[in-house]
Chain A
Amino acid sequence: MGERRKQILKLSRVQPDIEALVRNHSRDMLRAAYTVLHNTDDAEDVVQNVFLKVVQKKPSFNDDGHSKAWLLRATLNEAKNMLKKRAKSENIADIPDGTAGFDDTYSEVLEAVMSIPGDYREVIFLYYYEGYSVKEIAGIIQKPVSTVTTLLSRARAKLKIKLEGEI
C-alpha cells in the first residue's frame, strides 16, 4: 500500500459524525442522566463526559439503535458513578432534593417516579419513556431479564401506591 492510500484512509477517518450522535441522542441521554441524578446541571455534565469518552474510545456502531443503546448505557453508568462519588464525598443518600429545571406545571407522575429508588427509576425510564422491551433493558443495564421483570413489577407497585391507584 502506498502513501497515497494511507492518506485517503486518514482523511476518511476524521469525518466528524460525532455531531450526528450529539444531535440525535443527547436529548434522551440528558433525561436518562436526570432520571438518576435529579439535577439538570449534573445531567449535562454527565452527558458531556460520555461524549468525551466516545471521542476517546472511538467505538464503532452498527446502526442508530446500537449507538443509542450504547450511549444510554454509558450515560446511566456515568450518572450512577457520579452519584456514588457525590454520596461518598458529601455523605448524602441517593438523589438530591429539588426540582430545578422543571417547568411551572405540576409534575405529579414524574415526582412520583423520582421518589422511588434509583434501580426502579432506571427501568421505568427505559420501559415507559424509551419504549424498550424487558429483554432490551436487560441488555442495556446488564442484568438478567428476570431481574428487570422484578424491578419493573416492584416499581409499578410503588408507583401505584404513590399515585393512589392511578397506575
Chain B
Amino acid sequence: MTDLTREKYIGELENIRFSPDFEDKTIELVNSLGKPYKTGGKMKAILAAAAVLILSCVTAFAMPGFLTARQVAERLNMTELGALLESDRSVKAEKSIDAGEYLITLHSAVSADELVNIEGADTLSEREYFVISLMKKDGSALDNTKDIIRFTPLVDGFNVNDVNVCTLGTSMHIIEENGILYYLAATDSLKPYRGKKIYMAAFDGMMPFGKIITKENGEFDYAENYEGIRAIFELPEIF
C-alpha cells in the first residue's frame, strides 16, 4: 500500500460506527459475572545477578506440605485437568533448578489435546499444560502479588523473538500456598515442534526477549547484561 492508501484505509476503518456505550456495556457485562480479576502483575526485580545457571539437573522433590500438580489445578477450579495431570498420560518431571535464593521446580506436564470440555481448552487452543513452583530456599514466604517471575517456552532451532510466551499464546495462572508460588502454564499445541527440544525459561525483566535470552553456540543462554533470575528447563516429551 502507498502511504496515501494506507492512511485512507485506516481512516475508513476508523469511520466504522460501533455502539457508543460498547465499553461501558461490556464492563457491566463482565462485572455482572462476579468474577473480576487482576491481570498480569507488577514484577519485582528479584535477584542480583548470580553466575549463569542453566541446569538440566534432576533433584528429588518430595516434601510434605507441597501441593501436587493435581492440587494446583484443582485450586484453580480445573478439576478435569487436575485428574489428567495425575494420570498416566502426564509426565511427572519433578526437576528442580537452584536459582540463587530460589528453587524452581517443574512438577508435571501433560498434553490435553483430546479433552474437549476441559476448562481453558476451547477455541483459543491452549493444549499443553505445565505445573511449576517457585520457593525461597531459606523458607521465607513469597508473595503472590510481588514476587512474580515469568516463564517463556523456547524451541530449539527457533529465534527467541519468534517463538516465545507471546507467540505461543501462553497463559499463566498463579496461586500461592504456604509461601510457595505455583504456576500453571498453558500453551498452544507444541506438536508442530515435535522432535525438537523444548524449554521453559524463567525470567524477569521487560521484553523484547532477545535482550534477555540469546542463543550462542546453539544453546539458549541469558544475555550477559541480564541481571534477573536464570533457570531454563528442558521440557519432557509429552506427546
Contact: B15 with A167, CB < 8 Å? no
A63 within 8 A of B: yes
> Of B8, B76, B123, B188, which is within 8 A of A108 by CB?
B8
Size of the chain A interface, CB-CB below 8 angstroms: 72
Nearest CB in chain B: distance from A43 CB, A? 7
Total CB contacts across the A-B interface at under 8 A: 186
Q: Interface 1/0s, chain B 1-27, versus A by CB < 8 A?
A: 110111011101101111100110111
Give the distance in Å from the alpha carbon of A67 to the alpha carbon of B17 in the complex: 24
* A93: Cβ under 8 A from any B Cβ: no
By the criterion CB–CB under 8 Å, are A57 and B8 in contact? no
Q: Nearest Cβ in chain A — how far from B171, in angstroms?
A: 4
Q: Does A158 contact B (CB under 8 A)?
A: no
CB–CB A63/B207 < 8 A: yes
* 1/0 contact string of B66-97 vs chain A (CB within 8 Å): 00000000001000000000000000000000
Contact in complex: B1, A156 (CB < 8 Å): yes
CA distance A48 to B19 in the complex (A): 12
B62 at the interface (CB under 8 A from A): no
A12 touches B38 (CB 8 A): yes
B173 interfacial by beta-carbon distance below 8 Å: yes
Within 8 A of B (CB), among A65-84: 65-67, 69-70, 73-74, 77-78, 81
**A18 in contact (CB, < 8 A):** yes
Tell me the minimal C-beta distance from A128 to chain B in angstroms: 5
Q: Does A40 contact B (CB under 8 A)?
A: yes
Q: In the complex, what residue of chain B is closest to A23 when comparing beta carbons?
A: B23
Check B9 against A128 for contact (C-beta < 8 Å).
yes
Cα of A23 to Cα of B21 in the assembled complex, Å: 11
The stretch from B100-108, B175-183, B216-224 touching chain A is B175-183
| Interface of chain A residues 101 through 117 with chain B (CB within 8 A) | 101-103, 105, 107-110, 113
> Which residues of chain A are within 8 angstroms of B214 by Cβ–Cβ distance?
none
User: Does more than half of chain A's interface fall in helix, strand or loop, or is it mixed?
Assistant: helix
Q: When the two chains form their complex, are residues B162 and A138 in contact, meaning their CB atoms are under 8 A apart?
A: yes
- List residues of chain A with CB within 8 A of the CB of B40: 17, 60-63, 67
B31 on interface, CB distance cutoff 8 Å: yes
Contact (Cβ within 8 A) B13 A139: no
With contact pairs A14-B36, A19-B27, A128-B1 given, residues A62 and B12 touching in the complex (Cβ less than 8 Å)? no
Contact check: which of A55, A138, A145 meets B37 at CB < 8 Å? A55
| A34 CA to B17 CA, complexed, in Å | 11
Contacts of B167 in A (CB 8 A): 138-140
Q: How many whole Å from B165's CB to the nearest CB in chain A?
A: 7
**How far is the CB of B73 from the nearest CB of chain A, in Å?**
13
Most chain B CB atoms below 10 A, which of A13, A34, A43, A81: A13
B53 at the interface (CB under 8 A from A): no
Do A1 and B141 have beta carbons less than 8 Å apart? yes
Interface presence of B237 (CB below 8 A)? no
Pick from A54, A58, A81, A110: contact of B13, CB under 8 Å? A110
Q: Which of A16, A62, A124, A129 contacts B166 (CB 8 A)?
A: A62
B120 close to A (CB within 8 Å): yes
A154 is an interface residue with CB less than 8 A from chain B: no
A26 to B22 alpha-carbon distance, docked (Å)? 9
22 CB < 8 A contacts A-B: A13-B37, A15-B38, A20-B39, A34-B16, A47-B22, A48-B25, A48-B26, A54-B30, A55-B35, A59-B171, A59-B173, A60-B174, A61-B39, A61-B40, A62-B40, A102-B16, A105-B12, A129-B9, A139-B166, A142-B125, A145-B162, A167-B1
With A51-B29, A52-B30, A62-B207 known, 5 other A-B pairs at CB within 8 A are A1-B177, A9-B145, A128-B10, A135-B162, A139-B162
